[in-house]
Structure 1
Amino acid sequence: MESRSSAPSPHLLFVTSPMQGHINPVRHLAARVAAADNARVTISTAISGHRRMFPSLASPDEEAVDAAGLLHVPFSDGYDEGFDRSVHDARSYAERARAAGRETLSAVVARLAGRGRPVTRVVYTFLVGWAPEVARAHGVPAALLWIQPAAVFAVYYHCFHGHGHAFASCANDPARRDAVVRLPGMPPLSSARSVHRGGHLAGAAGVLVNTFDALEPEALRAVPGLELVAVGPVVPDNDIGASASSTDLSLCDDDASGYMEWLDAQTARSVVYVSFGTVFTASKRQELETLQGLKATGRPYLGVLRKVGGEEGGALDGDSGGGDGRQGMVVEWCDQARVLSHPAVGCFVTHCGWNSTLESIASGVPVVAVPQWTDQPTVAWIMEERAGVGVRVEVDGEGVAGRGEIQRCVETVMGDGDAALEIRARAATWMERAKEAVTDGGVLERNLRSFVSGL
């Protein structure tokens, strides 16, 4: 038992925005920290996200403990019902969220200290860039958890540290679409294939990155003066706690038995799985072209897609709830990690969100990359050019990949040609490398222990 005179046990407070793509990696990493280091861990997100994870609470701001035993203590960002563009002013969102968040998160830190659980470090994601201010006010160090690739962090860093002119030149001159941007410590980057605009990079003395060294060795060392510590791949791990779906923000009551039974009836590596993420989905035209391309392949597919056409009877309606002999099945939501690990899945048509990408790598599933915005073009470049585990679609003038292009890319990955065989072999190799990173005593565990022991 800890004596009164001894130093308090490490207590990490993970702070994140109320977005599923941010909460999920935070939860998985927090569970790993608690399991590997026996450290105290608390997770705090805005009430709007907290209430969706724990809908049965008597009060939306009530504390909760999830199935993995992790304490969740919410803060208020001033939008407890969630941000609604039809009601709220987007221009005032950041200022209001910052002011409310600083005040209420400070109260969380003080409340935990009053219970004999003083926070010894704050770990935050980039959309709550004000969290370090709260940490400093309480005399606590802070570390950034970067939930995008290390390459994206390096791009942002160099954009604001002496290389902004190169990015501006490429972004503002359509004739230079194939121009190459050269950054210190990074391979040449094509503006058309990997560099993207936008984003916010908050400063931090320490940066934890959801990646692993074998995947991004150059990028992890491409930022002078900052130590980027690889702590990934942070993906669902049923061995250390509850599955990812236990506190997902999907608010979906779909019965998994339907699509899992459908997958069980398919042959090994025959199914094309399609999902374009949970935040900003692909356009209706892109989804329609994707569906038609999948049908043209003649291969079975499982799609997490909107009903194109709505009440008038869209292109997806005839395939919804499949499993009765039809080629495809379309659902509103699924447990993605569970689907990707199913032996019937042979290809993932993806928007290249980083969480989805790491899940595909960990499952050894090749990808057809259909990136939409922000970090996704860079992720697509990593998957196609660096890892060699998939192909990226070519788009038309409206940024849409046509049905013929979707069909071509799926066949490139799933066919019998040399390119497909090589892609599948590389996917299997990267799956093993990802497993090596997260194995007991592996790089991830060593990095986490070093991080926690330094508190």
Structure 2
Amino acid sequence: MESAPSQQQQHLLFVTNPMQGHINPARRLAARVMTSNPNARVTFCTAISGHRRLFPSLSSPDAETVDGAGVLYMPYSDGFDEGYNPVVHGLGTYKARARETGRETLSAVVSRLAARGVPVTRVVYTFLVGWVPEVARLHGVPAALYWIQPAAVFAVYYHYFHGHDAALAALFADGSGSDASVQLPGLPPVKRDALPSVVSITSPDHRHYMIIAMMRELFASLDEHRPTVLVNTFDALEPDVLRAVPQFELSAVGPVVPADDDDPTSSSDLFLRRHDDAKAYMEWLDAKPDRSVVYVSFGSILSMSARQAEEMRRGLKATGWPYLWVARERDNNIKDSDSSGTTTTAGEQLGSSMVVEWCDQLRVLSHRAVGCFVTHCGWNSTLESLTRGVPMVAVPQWTDQPTVAWLVEERMGAGVRARVDAEGVVDRGELRRCVELVMGDDGEVRAQAALWKERASEAVAPGGTSDKNIRAFASVEQPGV
């Protein structure tokens, strides 16, 4: 086994799977680490499929490159270099193949860096590559988990895998009312609709069972290796929850979002090359009054059902507020009922509103014309909205999003959650109610959004709680694995 020297230049290796929602916060934390310790080296490593989408102009898909901040990008292979497609590859193939191939190729990356005289001194990994600590341990390098979801979600998962699975599963059994809740150590009572959707999965035949299997392996690895856990949150937001799992030291380092729109990590989008011209929608926003536009986006993974898209369009139109709606290519036919069934595709105007296939979300959320954000409550999007002081209408779909919606509505008071019907759809009347509440004149939700913007800014400012935690992590040797 190799041993990392105790006195040498810090060299942090960040490792993620190729999903955009993991790459973006990891890149942003890597940039923060370099700012906190300019003498450190940082290498960023994601699977070849993600690396290729980040850098499409490279001469070969696994070629190395360096960004403007000095971060070196070196990919590993997860065995799916063209990207994983469950329809093509099958649901049961990813976990084992990614683990086996990833361990081998990431180990080769670590060895190559050592051979160049710049050995890795610490590895930072996100949660869907739970095999990474095994590679770190092989090379005698300490590892730290970067938890890119709220601390509350970490706590729920931990307790699920440590004796509370039956109590959580019981909430989703037939006969449990929507107001049923569970009491977990260190957490307030949590209602069923505020729990991560993954803890409701019990059958191996469920299409998302692979996620719960990977999370189970992750927490087994955490029990074995006891790494430092960095969390993309801040103390003022989750003060008690950060200490709800005393078996681990959870260190808040967030919100990890770009400080301004010029940050090179501010508009990473791996699924669309930015062929849309920002000039069109930014000029459209420029022409709108302050806080008059409803911004709508539901992330890059899940498709919206035809009924949900129609209810969304009708509900938005009924509010009377103009909206800017990001509709991915697969969801971009949004019918206008006043146009005899014709469809408007992304990039065109829909009456007084606009539909686009892609936008620079941070630029939009920073614009004075945006009055609220109708969001799926992905944690990255939520933190971007929070740090821009934009109140939210929460429409969570799956994984951690129900818990994020609970934080937005119950903990922050910076938004309202739209309730779904028996088919899991937010109907037009409910959406209208929520948008009008947030865009209305009472100001309570908007005032809370402004308050949390200030608290988030304080956390990452020099001397703030998250800033101190990042500086400590970036400059001090961590315990061995």
Is TM-score (shorter-chain normalized) higher than 0.5?
Answer: yes
Match of 1:173 in 2: 174
Q: Does 1:435 align with 2:436?
A: no
| Alpha-carbon separation, structure 2, partners of 1:338 and 1:166 | 43
For residues 220-369 of structure 1, what are the structure 2 equivalents within 5 Å? Answer: 220-238=242-260, 241-245=263-267, 248-305=270-327, 306-308=331-333, 317-318=343-344, 320-322=346-348, 326-369=351-394
Give yes or no for contact 1:300–1:327 (8 Å, CA) kept in 2: yes
Give CA deviations for 1:345-399 in whole Å, capped at 9, x if unaligned.
Answer: 0100000000000001000000001001111110000000110011111111110
Displacement of 1:237 in angstroms is 2.7
| Alpha-carbon separation, structure 1, partners of 2:407 and 2:299 | 18
| Alpha-carbon separation, structure 2, partners of 1:211 and 1:58 | 38
Match of 1:14 in 2: 14
Displacement of 1:401 in angstroms is 0.5
Displacement of 1:316 in angstroms is 8.6
Match of 1:93 in 2: 94
Displacement of 1:56 in angstroms is 0.5
Q: What secondary structure does 2:384 align onto?
A: helix
| CA 1:190–1:327: 2 relative to 1, 3 Å | same
Displacement of 1:182 in angstroms is 0.6
Give yes or no for contact 2:10–2:41 (8 Å, CA) kept in 1: yes
Displacement of 1:248 in angstroms is 4.5
Taking structure 1 as the reference length, what is the TM-score of the superposition?
Answer: 0.93
| Alpha-carbon separation, structure 2, partners of 1:220 and 1:386 | 14
| Alpha-carbon separation, structure 1, partners of 2:462 and 2:342 | 44
Give yes or no for contact 1:271–1:302 (8 Å, CA) kept in 2: yes
Displacement of 1:68 in angstroms is 2.8
- Bigger Cα displacement from structure 2, 358-367 vs 234-243: 234-243
Displacement of 1:453 in angstroms is 2.8
| CA 1:240–1:41: 2 relative to 1, 3 Å | farther
| CA 1:61–1:195: 2 relative to 1, 3 Å | closer
Q: Which amino acid aligns with 1:18?
A: P
Match of 2:115 in 1: 114
Match of 2:31 in 1: 31
Give CA deviations for 1:284-314 in whole Å, capped at 9, x if unaligned.
Answer: 221221111111111110000222369xx99
Give yes or no for contact 2:298–2:375 (8 Å, CA) kept in 1: yes
Give CA deviations for 1:223-278 in whole Å, capped at 9, x if unaligned.
Answer: 02100000100112348842422674533321111111111111101100000110
Q: Does 1:394 align with 2:419?
A: yes
Match of 2:105 in 1: 104
Give yes or no for contact 2:387–2:452 (8 Å, CA) kept in 1: yes
CA RMSD of aligned residues (A): 2.0
Q: Which amino acid aligns with 1:391?
A: V
User: Unpaired segments of 5 or more residues in structure 1?
Assistant: none
Displacement of 1:320 in angstroms is 4.6
Give yes or no for contact 2:28–2:265 (8 Å, CA) kept in 1: no
Displacement of 1:452 in angstroms is 2.4
| Alpha-carbon separation, structure 2, partners of 1:51 and 1:195 | 31
| Alpha-carbon separation, structure 1, partners of 2:193 and 2:259 | 35
Match of 1:126 in 2: 127
Displacement of 1:454 in angstroms is 2.7
Give yes or no for contact 2:50–2:270 (8 Å, CA) kept in 1: no
Q: What secondary structure does 2:92 align onto?
A: helix
| Alpha-carbon separation, structure 1, partners of 2:175 and 2:75 | 45
Match of 2:230 in 1: 208
| CA 1:349–1:246: 2 relative to 1, 3 Å | closer
Q: What secondary structure does 1:42 align onto?
A: strand
| CA 1:113–1:162: 2 relative to 1, 3 Å | same
Q: What secondary structure does 1:424 align onto?
A: helix
Give yes or no for contact 1:24–1:248 (8 Å, CA) kept in 2: no
Q: What secondary structure does 2:386 align onto?
A: helix
Q: What secondary structure does 1:172 align onto?
A: coil
Q: Which amino acid aligns with 1:88?
A: H
Give CA deviations for 1:168-221 in whole Å, capped at 9, x if unaligned.
Answer: 111223434321111111111111334533441431421000001111111101
Q: Which amino acid aligns with 1:379?
A: V
| CA 1:172–1:433: 2 relative to 1, 3 Å | same
Displacement of 1:318 in angstroms is 3.5
Give yes or no for contact 1:319–1:326 (8 Å, CA) kept in 2: no
Displacement of 1:279 in angstroms is 1.0
| CA 1:178–1:68: 2 relative to 1, 3 Å | same
| Alpha-carbon separation, structure 1, partners of 2:165 and 2:243 | 20
Displacement of 1:6 in angstroms is 8.3
| Alpha-carbon separation, structure 2, partners of 1:348 and 1:168 | 32
| CA 1:448–1:320: 2 relative to 1, 3 Å | closer
Displacement of 1:317 in angstroms is 3.4
| CA 1:86–1:160: 2 relative to 1, 3 Å | closer
Give yes or no for contact 1:194–1:380 (8 Å, CA) kept in 2: no
Q: Which amino acid aligns with 1:185?
A: G
| Alpha-carbon separation, structure 2, partners of 1:67 and 1:253 | 22
Q: Which amino acid aligns with 1:132?
A: P
User: Unpaired segments of 5 or more residues in structure 2?
Assistant: 200-211
Give yes or no for contact 1:47–1:61 (8 Å, CA) kept in 2: yes
